[in-house]
Amino acid sequence: MIRTHKISRVFTSEDTETTALREVDLEIEEGEFVAIMGPSGCGKSTLLNLLGLADKPSSGSYFFDGNPTDAITEKGMTRMRRGNMGLIF
């Protein structure tokens, strides 16, 4: 249901570039329960924002229910979140 292939997320400001995620591969099948744990600042919230379609990766591929998400509009992302997801931060 959820598959990522080398997704990365880089945040850029005027003079700083921060890599929050680097080439993450992940597969979550329908019905699976997943807990993402780690120390503060390791990228958990960034990953969940990408998986929850609240943000888009800087590079890599994210597939939801077998469909690529890179060309989905903001409106389409909202529709997918509303009808298919539940995240607890």
Per-residue pLDDT of the chain (89 residues; tens, 9 = 90+): 899 999 999 999 999 999 999 999 999 998 898 888 999 999 999 999 999 888 999 999 999 888 899 888 888 888 888 878 776 66
Q: Looking at the domain assignment, is residue 76 inside a domain?
A: yes
The pLDDT score that the predictor gives to residue 74 is 86
User: Which backbone phi and psi does 84 adopt, to 5 degrees?
Assistant: -135, -5
Q: Tokens 């690529």 correspond to what residue? A: 68
Residue 14 belongs to what domain range? 2-84
Q: What is the pTM of this model?
A: 0.84
Q: Looking at the domain assignment, is residue 61 inside a domain?
A: yes
Name which of 73, 25, 77, 85 is nearest 53 in CA terms.
77
The pLDDT score that the predictor gives to residue 71 is 86
Q: Looking at the domain assignment, is residue 52 inside a domain?
A: yes
Q: Looking at the domain assignment, is residue 44 inside a domain?
A: yes
What CATH code is carried by the domain that includes residue 61?
A: 3.40.50.300
The pLDDT score that the predictor gives to residue 26 is 96
